[in-house]
């Protein structure tokens, strides 16, 4: 069932008093809009510089842990049912422990999926905890290839994992056509540099912690050519670049009764409930 996203503002007529208040609110917004083109013309290089600084910081961080929350949007076509055109959002949370070049323990939990992705440097294990099944394969020599393998063979989108790669700047900047530095903004009480980028297929924004540790704090991808412009949103918290890692951190021991399946047959790991189809046009 393909999906599509749309949002239609609800316009209502207003009394004279309401109109006066609305006009007072719109005036400063119009003034802000008048300055936007000038701002956009000179901020592309600075936006790229801030993104590169974040990428370099991540690349020289040999190990780290983090927690995250994410939301993915879909529009249900629903055939000829009442669900057609309904905009839906599904959330998840999880954590990740990373040790370069190719060791990772990442979890992702929703009401309908609960999966662990583990690489000890030699073996990649994917464990669907709700279905008590796991799949294994040889571990790739670096996180870039490992992430690509998970996406290609498991059906797990691993959204936001580009931020774990060895050269985040190269991964993100290649298709960029326009870049904007939007100034300082707050994410969960942390002051961040707010950047926005345009590519042929998607627009995306990233909020990077200002200061000595340019940590990615928020990341939004907008599928602008899909009706309704659905978004994927990621928030990162609990960042630790000096984690305590032991021999057991990346070990995987199958729980009692767990079934072994092929990596492309692992269920209970997707972004959406099985009853919800995805797609768009």
The pLDDT tens digits along the chain (281 residues) read 334 333 333 433 333 343 333 333 333 333 334 344 444 444 799 999 999 999 999 999 999 999 999 998 888 776 656 677 788 898 999 999 999 999 999 999 988 788 999 999 999 999 999 889 999 999 999 999 999 998 888 877 777 899 999 999 999 999 999 999 999 999 999 999 999 999 999 999 999 999 999 999 999 999 998 878 899 999 999 999 999 999 899 999 999 999 999 988 887 676 666 665 544 43
Q: State residue 154's pLDDT score.
A: 81
State the Cα–Cα distance between residues 182 and 195, nearest whole angstrom.
Answer: 6
Check whether the bond before 101 is cis (ω within 30° of 0): yes
Rg (C-alpha) for the chain, rounded Å, is: 21
**Whether the Cβ atoms of residue 25 and residue 14 lie closer than 8 Å to each other:** no
Cα separation, 97 vs 65, whole angstroms: 4
User: How far is residue 212's CA from residue 173's CA, in Å, rounded to a whole number?
Assistant: 22
CB atoms within 10 A of CB 153: 16
pLDDT score for 270 = 65
Q: Report long-range pairs for 117-120 (Cβ below 8 Å, ≥24 apart).
A: 117/150, 117/156, 117/158, 118/250, 118/251, 118/252, 119/146, 119/250, 120/250, 120/251, 120/252
Confidence (pLDDT) at 25: 33
How is residue 263 annotated by DSSP? G
Tokens 């839906």, residue located: 88
- At 268 the pLDDT is 67
Query: Considering the entire predicted model, what is its pTM?
Result: 0.81
For 62-253+260-265, which CATH class?
Answer: mainly beta
| Residues 232, 218: Cα–Cα separation, whole Å | 11
């Amino acid at each position: 069932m393909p999906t599509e996203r749309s949002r239609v503002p609800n316009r209502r007529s207003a009394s004279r008093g309401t109109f006066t208040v609305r006009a007072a609110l719109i005036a400063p917004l119009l003034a802000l809009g008048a300055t936007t083109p000038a701002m956009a013309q000179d901020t592309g290089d600075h936006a790229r510089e801030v993104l590169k600084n974040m990428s370099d910081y991540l690349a020289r961080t040999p190990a780290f842990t983090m927690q995250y929350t994410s939301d993915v949007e879909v529009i249900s076509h629903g055939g000829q049912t009442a669900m057609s055109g309904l905009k839906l959002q599904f959330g998840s949370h999880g954590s990740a422990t990373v040790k370069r070049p190719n060791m990772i323990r990442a979890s992702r939990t929703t009401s309908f999926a609960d999966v662990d992705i583990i690489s000890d440097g030699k073996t990649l294990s994917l464990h669907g905890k709700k279905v008590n099944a796991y799949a294994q394969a040889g571990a790739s020599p670096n996180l870039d290839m490992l992430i690509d393998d998970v996406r290609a063979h498991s059906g797990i989108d691993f959204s936001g994992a580009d931020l774990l790669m060895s050269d985040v700047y190269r991964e993100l900047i290649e298709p960029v056509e326009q870049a904007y530095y939007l100034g300082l903004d707050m994410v969960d009480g942390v002051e961040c540099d707010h950047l926005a980028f345009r590519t042929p297929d998607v627009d995306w924004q990233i909020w990077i912690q200002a200061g000595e540790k340019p940590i990615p704090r928020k990341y939004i991808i907008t599928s602008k050519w899909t009706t309704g412009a659905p978004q994927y949103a990621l928030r990162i918290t609990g960042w630790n670049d000096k984690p305590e890692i032991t021999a057991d951190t990346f070990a995987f021991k199958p729980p009692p009764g767990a079934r072994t399946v092929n990596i492309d047959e692992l269920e209970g790991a997707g972004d959406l409930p099985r009853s919800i189809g995805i797609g768009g046009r």
